[in-house]
Structure 1
Amino acid sequence: MSKRAYFGTDGIRGEANRHPMTAEVALRVGMAAGKLFKSKDDRRHLVVIGKDTRLSGYMIEPALVAGFTSVGMDVRLFGPLPTPGVAMMTRSLRADLGVMISASHNAFSDNGIKLFGPDGYKLSDEKELEIEALMDEGLQQNLAAPSALGRVQRIDDCQARYIEIAKATFPRRLSLSGMRIVIDCANGAAYKVAPEALHELGAEVIRIGISPNGFNINEECGSTHPAAMQKAVKEYRADIGIALDGDADRLVICDEKGNVVDGDQIMALIAADWARRETLRGGGVVATVMSNLGLERFLAAKGLKLERTQVGDRYVMARMREGGFNVGGEQSGHLILSDFSTTGDGLLAALQVLAVLKKSDKPMSALARQFEPVPQKLENVRFAGGKPLENENVKAVLAEAEQRLNGSGRLVVRASGTEPLIRIMAEADDEKLVNQVIKEIAGAVKKAAA
């Protein structure tokens, strides 16, 4: 596969107003993607655009609109809406293309562009490469005639529509009445829809992270900073805490005691429940190379398999579609339940956990630890430039670490697709060995990156 110049593991992402997250690049994305997704017939073509609450969304959105309308595509603007909501509405409105403007769990200073095809699925690597090729060639010949320019309209009911879709995934005979739930929306895209959906299903809802100001998305709140949720759960004596990220496609949960439950435990809980009800498909779960070995062993004990993919929720989704699986996700809380959605959806995953909780009549703490995790350590090493993983000394240290873990654990070392980081993960039953291996690899990478 050729090297991608703009797209990473999850769309285009970077610091706002710095290449590649500039208005000029957004304009070219609109022109190129518009050209690629316009068929040859004479009908009007449609693109839908949602965003989170970052200040830079006000810069990226009009640039994309200018690009799409300039090649003759009509545009519908949603305003703040979760990423999975944009995917759903792309299909619901029979659009040719869906766009989400978000840098997910990153700080407000970053932004990103994620693209969905007419089926609501994220674009393949091949499609992204086609868009890149069009972006780098002269786009002037694709410009529409003055009378054929696209029209733009704001859609006001998309949030209400997403709430109704989300509520419909919760078992009809159940209600959340009698439950006190903390929801932390990370001052992001779900700040209206997630608390409202829980409230309409009957819960008493304590809302935090619902006051976006353009700068505070993911700031000391949301799934990457669960302390705010944990504190609120203890303070209000809630039954459960739910924390979403900036675009609401991932979540972490905490039990009534304030203990955090990660994506692996949530996948185990949902998979076990669905397997009991004979609604789990594919004979198991799809997760990435980062998921804990404990999850694999837990599933194996139930006669289920764990299939692993490279990091990135669209690779998980691709494997789910190939193998007919309906539960998949990432340890980070990016959960895909394909019976309901074409991409990760924090709210829908939370509703499935709440359904299990409600039916079990047990406290969340009794359900939170589905399996004993194998000691696992993750360390990120930032680097300024170059390719530390191609350094000979780093290669030698990695080879030795692989040998020491052979048979008793796993090692995953990779460059991040969204930031200049080398991510190092090791796990084994021997915690001392894990710490030792991580320390040695991180030291070698730092030295190579210096």
Structure 2
Amino acid sequence: MSVRKLFGTDGVRGKANSYPMTADMALRIGAAAGRYFRRDRGSAHRVVIGKDTRLSGYMFENALTAGLTSTGMNVLLLGPVPTPCVGLMTRSMRADLGVMISASHNPAEDNGIKFFGPDGFKLSDQAEIEIETLIEAGVEPAQAGNIGRAKRIDDARFRYGERVKSSLPRDLRLDGLKVVIDCANGAAYRAAPEILWELGADVVPVGVSPDGKNINKGCGSTQPQIAAETVVAHGADVGICLDGDADRVILIDEKGRVADGDQLMALLAARWAEEGLLTGGALVATVMSNLGLERFLAGKGIGLERTGVGDRYVVERMRAGGFNLGGEQSGHIVMTDHATTGDGLMAGLHFLAEMVRSGRRASDLAQQFTPVPQLLKNVRFTAGETPLEETSVQDAIAAAEAALLGQGRLLIRKSGTEPLIRVMAECEDAVLLARTVDNVVAAVTSVVAA
């Protein structure tokens, strides 16, 4: 099978106005995607486009629209909406294609383009390879009379809100709960506080003043310190931290302590299994999820299916195996009974629902297991370099694996969204953990620096 060149683990991503994230490339990507999805289909061709709050979103929205309409696709523009809203609207509008313009948790100067198929799920690797082939070959535009139209859809976030609320019991209310919601100055800055308020919560909003340049800056799921301080300062019951496109969530208990996606998945999996709602008897998570999660699930007779890193691979395994709950340690929580992709707000609401149902505090629910000590370090490299193929690096990895044998595990991988080598290990012995990670990092660094 061919190797993708443009697409990473979550679409095309990079620094705005630098290859591959240029207006020209976005136009070509749009034209190729339009041509790909017009094949062997009827006369009505539709694509929905959503975006987050990055300044460059205007540029890419216009470029993609130009490319798509040039091939005869009719474009429906949703404006700033969470990524799961695009998956929802793609199916709801009977579109051929959905597009989300976002670089998720990355800084404001980055941006990305990710695609959803007609079923609302992210595209497969093979589909992305075929689109890349069309980009390289060039696309013949439609005849003048067949050029597509563009139209704005003004109520997308309201439709999304109703879908999110419908995933909860109809009689559930959040009266009496004070909730800090950190929207990362991103795509959910309006939708998330509105939905929580509609459900009766006392809402304390953070990160709801996007200016095009402050998305994820000092806030959101990757930087939850301000939200944690706000929870404590306001005496809130819980904090919900989203990322820039709101497809992931990190929770904060009433004491200001942070809980990651593994803890939330443990809570939901155990609850669903108890109620007979966990299909397949297993949770799907990536190789990054903590060993503590695996042990917790095993103790409750629940299996753990591991995949490569990326929520799209989690979803692919869920669909192939008939599982309905999966996610990532980083906070992508996928509930395919209700959504086609990770939905940070929906997952956060299900945590709140469990607080209401059980009458327990967030601190009791957000610490389901004791994590095995985990250490992750990143080494940046230059495009074109292949540090993991160097003999010295492979020797260092083999030595680290031998040192951890029977005591922990080592995971080395290239990031799918940034030029980084990620070195992660888990081990109860803190000294051994630090030494093995540092030795591998040193080996990779020496090759990159050379």
**Using a 3 Å threshold, how does the CA distance of structure 1 residues 74 and 178 change in structure 2: closer, same or farther?**
same
Map Cα deviations across residues 235-258 of structure 1 (whole Å, 9 max, x no partner): 110000000000000010000000
Q: Could you tell me whether the CA contact under 8 Å between 2:285 and 2:314 is conserved in 1?
A: yes
In 2: Cα distance, 1:198 partner to 1:283 partner = 31
- Residue aligned with 2:424, SS: strand
**Cα displacement (A) at 1:420:** 1.0
- Sequence identity, in percent? 59
- Conserved? CA contact 2:9–2:417, under 8 Å: yes
Q: Secondary structure at the match of 2:77?
A: strand
Which residue does the alignment assign to 1:7?
A: 7
Q: Which residue of 2 aligns with 1:286?
A: 284
2:187 to 169, 178, 189: 189
Whole-Å separation in 2 of the counterparts to 1:168 and 1:228: 30
**1:111 and 2:111 correspond:** yes
Could you report, residue by residue, the CA deviation over 1:50-81 in whole angstroms, capped at 9, with x for unpaired residues? Answer: 00000000110110000010011100000000
Local SS of the residue matching 1:279 = coil
- Taking the aligned partners of 2:355 and 2:378, their CA distance within structure 1 comes to 34
Structure 1 residue 278, shift from structure 2 partner? 1.0
C-alpha displacement at 1:407, in angstroms?
A: 2.0
Q: Residues 126-165 of structure 1: matches in 2 within 5 Å?
A: 126-139=126-139, 142-165=140-163
| Structure 1: segments with no counterpart, 5+ residues | none
Residue of structure 2 in register with 1:375 after alignment: 373
- After superposition, what is the alpha-carbon deviation per residue over 1:87-145, rounded to whole angstroms, capped at 9, x for unaligned? 00000000000000000000010000000000000000000000000001132xx2111
2:231 aligned residue (227, 230, 233): 233
> Which SS does the other structure have where 1:256 is aligned?
coil
Q: 1:205 is aligned with what amino acid?
A: V
Instruction: State the secondary structure of the residue aligned to 2:305.
Output: strand
- What SS does structure 1 have at the residue aligned with 2:280? coil
Q: CA shift at 1:368, angstroms?
A: 1.4
Match of 1:199 in 2: 197
- The Cα of 1:173 is off from its aligned counterpart by 2.3
Give the aligned partner of residue 398 of structure 2: 399
Q: TM-score, normalised by structure 1?
A: 0.98
What is the Cα deviation at residue 274 of structure 1?
0.8
- RMSD of aligned alpha carbons: 0.9
Map of 1:442 onto structure 2: 441
Of residues 244-253 and 169-178 in structure 1, the stretch that sits farther from structure 2 once superposed is: 169-178
Secondary structure, aligned partner of 1:170? coil
How far did 1:41 drift?
Answer: 4.9
User: Are residues 1:427 and 2:418 paired?
Assistant: no
1:425/1:146 Cα in 2 relative to 1: closer, same or farther (>3 Å)? same
- For 1:84, what is the secondary structure of its paired residue? helix
1:397-447: per-residue Cα shift (whole Å, max 9, x none)? 100111111122111001111111100000022222111101111111100
User: For 2:334 and 2:22, how far apart are their aligned partners in 1?
Assistant: 30
Matches within 5 A, 1:285-304: 285-304=283-302
Within-5 A mapping of 1:6-405: 6-139=6-139, 142-385=140-383, 386-405=385-404
Contact 2:32 2:138 in 1 (8 A): no
Q: Distance in 1 between matches of 2:305 and 2:402?
A: 23
SS of match in other structure, 1:220: coil
How far apart in 2 are the matches of 1:76 and 1:115? 14
Structure 1 residue 275: Cα displacement: 1.0
- 5+ residue gaps, structure 2, are none
Deviation at 1:42, TM superposition (A): 4.8
Q: Secondary structure at the match of 1:171?
A: coil
